[in-house]
Every structure is written in C-alpha cells, then in structure tokens.
Structure 1
Amino acid sequence: MELRIFTEPQQGASYDDLLGVAIRAERLGFGAFFRSDHYVAMGDGSGLPGPSDAWITLAGLARDTSTIRLGTLVTSATFRLPGPLAISVAGVDAMSGGRVELGLGSGWFEDEHDAYGIPFPSLGERFDRLTEQLEIITGLWATPAGETFDFHGDHYALTGSPALPKPWQSPPPVIVGGAGPKRTPNLAARFAAEYNTPFLGLDDVVAANERVDRACESLGRDPSTLVRSAALVVCVGGDEGEFERRAQSIGREPGELRENGVAGLPAEAVETLGRFAGAGIERVYLQVLDLSDLDHLDLIAAEFPSGVTPPK
C-alpha cells in the first residue's frame, strides 16, 4: 500500500507552510503530496493567511521539489473552464517533469462559491458539467499533435482547438472520487486511472468499490486497471499523551479519530491500514491537518511499514 500526504490549505497555510510539508514528505519517501482545492475555511478556523489557488501552488511546488508526485483531491469543476484547466495541468506537469495527477470533482461547498462570486448550479447540472469537463480534458490531451479537437455539449463548446500544450505524461492520471451510487461509478470507469473514496468507513468503501467494479464491467473495462484509494485523517502519537496532544491541536476527540481515521498509537494505525489493504485499497491519502507538526510526518514514516499488507 502506497502512503501519500494530503493537506487542507484552506484551513490556514502559506505557500512556505505547504512547501515545508512537501519537502519533508519527499525526503521521507511518501508517494505524493496532494492538496485540496477550496477557497474558504471550514468549521471554526480563520483561514489565515487566506486561500491559495491549488494549481498556482502546485506550479511552485513543481519547481521546488524534485521527485514527489503532486496533485489535487479534488479540483472543483465549478472553479475553472475545462480548456484552460487542461492547459494549466499540462503546464504544471511539464514544470514537474511528469509528476502531476488531476483529481476532478463536481464541487459541493456552496459557501466558497458565494464568498468569491462563483456560480453554483444544481447538483444535477454540476455532474453534467463534470462529465463534459472530463470528456474535454481527456480529449484535448489525447488529440495528436498537429490535429484539432472539437466538442459540442450542453455546457461547453470547443471548435478547432489546437489542443496544446501537451502534458509531459501521456496523459497525467485522472482521479475520480466520491460515494455517489450512480454517476460517480460510471465517471470513474470511463475516465479515471484511480478511484478514491474520501473519509468513508470500511463497509462503505467496499460497497462503493463494488459499484465501480460493476460500472467497469458494464463498459467492458477490466476493473483491475483502476487503482483504488482512500483518504483518511491521520493522527498518531508515539505514546498516548502525544496522541492526545495531537488530537487536541486539530480539534478532534481521540475516540472519534480512532473510529474514523488512521489514529492512535502506531500499531493501531498500521492495523487500520491493514484492514483497508485487505479490502483492496492500494493507496491511502493521509490527511495531515497540523501543517506545522513536521515531527508527525517523521513518526509516520518511521513507524509505518513501507508496504502495508492485508491481515492474514
């Protein structure tokens, strides 16, 4: 099982904060550094110093890191037009030497749309737009050099696009996530290299992946060609006191974290990861909420096995 670091900068983080986590994660051998794509803090946080744009941040990290993979969980389809987004992701992919992955979702947090003047259509329309965005972005990247790309949908139209620039990778991996019972499995089966279940219990993760399996089979795709991942909050301490201090620093109760995350003492956290590995999860995004606590990353890297295996 590959372990990745996942951050929530809208809760309050400067570029230097994110860079510090990314560099430490790279040095410690984590598989990737990912960030959310939000513009307003959630809960009681102030969000200071203020929101940062995901793809501008990743462009900086593309130049300030050298080996770790970079991406979003997930970019909102309401934030950007698909053509310019394809250009941005391709550019950052080239800047990183081919280390970028695009997580793309429908968008859900209405408050940030109100706060920054972003239209927030109905859920059905947001999924319609997401579907067209995935068709356009993957279509642009797949268009051979020297040819043009056309698309005419209900929400977007492209005519004679040169479909440039091309990303470094052919193509960058696309991640589709969520637990929706109908449209999400189909989108993952059609467009994704990876399907992600965010912050779900193990039973729900299993059920969601079974729906994706069926969607793949209905489209003639081998389900094993789709990487399966999960996002879970992480909070680990070398002893009970350290764990409780870390839980307090992120405003969470120790018991709740043990129930819903990769949490507790190292052996407990590894046991949790083993259960997810046993359910077929190949990759876990560890949501790190205190970006100033780099010692937390050191502990995780030292105590978690490099490859978590399913329990026997």
Structure 2
Amino acid sequence: MTDHGHELTFGGFLTPAAGQPDRVVALARLCEQVGLDLVTFQDHPYQPGFLDTWTLMSYVAAATARVRMAGNVLNLPLRQPVVLARSVASLDLLTGGRVELGLGAGAFWDAIEAAGGRRLSPGAAVEALDEAIRVIRAVWDTDRRGMIRVDGEHYRVVGAKRGPAPAHPVGIWVGAYKPRMLRLVGRAADGWLPSLSYLPEGPDDLPALNALVDEGAAAAGRDPAAIRRMLNVTGTFARSSAGFLAGPPDQWVEELAGLTLEHGITTFILGSDEPRAIQIFGQEVAPAVRELVAAERATPAAGGPSTLGVTPTPDPGYA
C-alpha cells in the first residue's frame, strides 16, 4: 500500500488517571497549545483508577477551544449504541464539530462481565460491533425517513427515533488487529486505529494488515483510499538513536514520514503523559513531518516507493 494523500493529523493519547484529574485536563490543554489536532483517552469503564472517559471528554471540551476529542477506543460492551450515538452527536453539536468516535469490540472480558457487561466470543464480539455501527449510523441519519430498524443478534433497535445528527460527519475509527475485524473496518468504518506496540513485527506488519482493510472495503464496494489509516505510537526522545522512534526529533520525522509514504498512515497519536514529549511532538515533529511528506508528494515519483531510510487496546484475539 502507498500513500492515499490524506491530510496529516497528530494527536495525544492520555491516561485518564482519577488520582490526578487536574493534570489530565492540563495535558489535554497542552495538546491544544502545542498545535496537536486531537486529544484521545483510553476507555476502561471497569477500572476505578480511571476517570470515566466520556465525562472527561465533555469536561475537556469545555476547557479547550480547537482540539478534537475521541475515545481511544471506547469500550462498546459497556456503552449502549443508541445512547452512545446520541452522546457523540450532542457533544459534537455543543463543540461545533470537535468529536470523533473511536470504537473497540471489547477486551478484558472478566472485568467487563464483572461490571455487568455480556461476555462474548471473539466472533460474536465482531458481529456485535458490526451491528452497533449500523445502529449508530442510523441514529445520526436524520435525512432518512422512518424509525430505526436494526434487528440484530446482539443489538435489536426497532422503532427508535433518529437524531440528533452531529454537527459534522463524525469519523468512526475502529481498533482492530485480526482478519475479521480488519475486514469490518474496510466494510463499515471510516478509520483504522491500531497501536504500533501491539504489532508483533512493528511496521513490517502494516502491509498485510492494510491489505485486509482494503479487502473488506472492496468487497463492500467502497474505495479503500477513503479509509484513514491511523496509528498510536510510543517512543522516546533522546540525543542519539536507540531504535525505531527512539532518538532525536529528526529521526522521528523521517520514520513517521516513511510510515505515511510507504504504508499510508496519516494520523499519528502519541501515547505519553510527559509534557516535554507532547511539546516536542506537537511543535517540532508534527510540522516537520507535514513538510517532508508534502515535499515527497510533490515530487514526480509521488505514489511510488519512498526514498526515506525507514526501518519498518491489546490485541483481543478476534479472528
């Protein structure tokens, strides 16, 4: 897969620590101040050490003015799709279009079941996510007449009213790693949002995984290029190189630009609660990656192999 030409976006992936709520909000504000486009939060509703992600997003929305927000990713088994769709649309309306929807099929099933959720097999969890996306899109589709009807195996919504519609076309981004989930991304989602640390071979896994997303899109009659490829990344900033995304900002710039040009990744979300790392990522790395990718795209060989020297939510095990 090569670059599909999407605009590059950059974000932060913050820990919603309940013991330091003021710090979490301050880090979200910092993401905005240093020029990042997006601030995201992990979602584990069964974890008492974390703030509720949706409540936190609503608070952060009021504490910021420009940055967009998303769960990374929201735990579907503990969030009913109709209510979730209306919550997303409501916050999007209140913020003037600053909310996106990251969704996960669920993991840590012991904790989910202990909190009142249903334990699902891997195959059933994929089916439930597919049905939930249909429900969510139906709630938002206020241009269509008639009541919602999704008579699924896991979510039966028959006769519910549509609306409200969000302020902008909210992206549905799915965290996925295994073939059935990746094909579902291609078939039904707007973006694929994995974590680099959960790819066993790192960037070397991206071509095969991207191909499965493309396969799902093609089977549904969709253009694979329409699906945004995203990536949660972690690493360290240091004076000298110690491996992939472990070194000076210039090294990060080359390696992230390579992921865009060689694998089509156009959203990078930094997993860090360190203010200095967030500052470097937003003020030094992101602008330089944009500049380098723009220059490469402008060359006659754009779309071909890159000349850059790049070394190429835990996997729940869904097929």
Are residue 172 (structure 1) and residue 179 (structure 2) matched?
A: no
Deviation at 1:303, TM superposition (A): 2.7
* Distance in 1, Cα, partners of 2:251 & 2:46: 33
Q: Secondary structure at the match of 1:103?
A: strand
Answer whether contact 2:183 2:215 (CA < 8 A) is retained. no
Higher RCO structure, 1 or 2 (CA under 8 Å, sep 6+): 2
**Counterpart position of 2:229:** 228
TM-score (norm 1): 0.82
TM-score (norm 2): 0.81
User: Given the alignment, which residue of 269, 275, 278 partners 1:297?
Assistant: 278
Answer whether contact 1:89 1:102 (CA < 8 A) is retained. yes
Deviation by residue 1:129-155 (Cα, 9 ceiling, x = unmatched): 111111100111113377421221112
Which shows bigger deviation, 268-277 or 20-29? 268-277
Q: Secondary structure at the match of 1:197?
A: coil
Answer whether contact 2:74 2:102 (CA < 8 A) is retained. yes
Q: Secondary structure at the match of 1:104?
A: strand
Distance 1:14 1:215, change over 3 A: same
User: Given the alignment, which residue of 8, 28, 37 partners 2:34?
Assistant: 28
Which shows bigger deviation, 21-30 or 146-155? 146-155
Answer whether contact 1:185 1:212 (CA < 8 A) is retained. yes
Deviation by residue 1:12-48 (Cα, 9 ceiling, x = unmatched): 653322211111111111110011111466xxxxx7x
Count of matched residue pairs: 281
Answer whether contact 1:77 1:126 (CA < 8 A) is retained. no
* Distance in 2, Cα, partners of 1:66 & 1:87: 22
Answer whether contact 1:94 1:168 (CA < 8 A) is retained. yes
Deviation by residue 1:238-266 (Cα, 9 ceiling, x = unmatched): x36xxxxxxxxxxxxx95xx34xx32222
Q: Secondary structure at the match of 1:208?
A: helix
**Counterpart position of 2:206:** 205
Are residue 135 (structure 1) and residue 141 (structure 2) matched?
A: no
* Distance in 1, Cα, partners of 2:139 & 2:38: 25
Distance 1:112 1:234, change over 3 A: farther
Q: Which amino acid in the other structure matches residue 78 of structure 1?
A: P
Which shows bigger deviation, 79-88 or 159-168? 159-168
Q: Which amino acid in the other structure matches residue 298 of structure 1?
A: Q
Are residue 196 (structure 1) and residue 163 (structure 2) matched?
A: no
**Counterpart position of 1:243:** none
**Counterpart position of 1:271:** 254
* Alpha-carbon RMSD: 2.2
* Distance in 2, Cα, partners of 1:24 & 1:193: 27
Deviation by residue 1:239-294 (Cα, 9 ceiling, x = unmatched): 36xxxxxxxxxxxxx95xx34xx322222222321221222111111111xx2x31
Q: Which amino acid in the other structure matches residue 235 of structure 2?
A: V
Q: Which amino acid in the other structure matches residue 285 of structure 2?
A: F
**Counterpart position of 1:280:** 264
Gaps of 5+ in 1: 42-46, 241-253
* Distance in 2, Cα, partners of 1:111 & 1:21: 31
**Counterpart position of 2:21:** 15
* Distance in 2, Cα, partners of 1:140 & 1:40: 26
Answer whether contact 1:37 1:73 (CA < 8 A) is retained. yes
**Counterpart position of 2:181:** 184
Q: Which amino acid in the other structure matches residue 82 of structure 2?
A: G
**Counterpart position of 1:244:** none
Answer whether contact 1:106 1:129 (CA < 8 A) is retained. yes
* Distance in 2, Cα, partners of 1:162 & 1:85: 14
* Distance in 1, Cα, partners of 2:235 & 2:147: 45
* Distance in 1, Cα, partners of 2:63 & 2:104: 27
Which shows bigger deviation, 299-308 or 66-75? 299-308
Superposed, 1:120-131 pairs within 5 Å as 120-131=119-130
Gaps of 5+ in 2: 1-7, 297-305, 308-319
Q: Secondary structure at the match of 2:70?
A: strand
Identity of aligned residues (%): 29
Q: Secondary structure at the match of 1:134?
A: helix
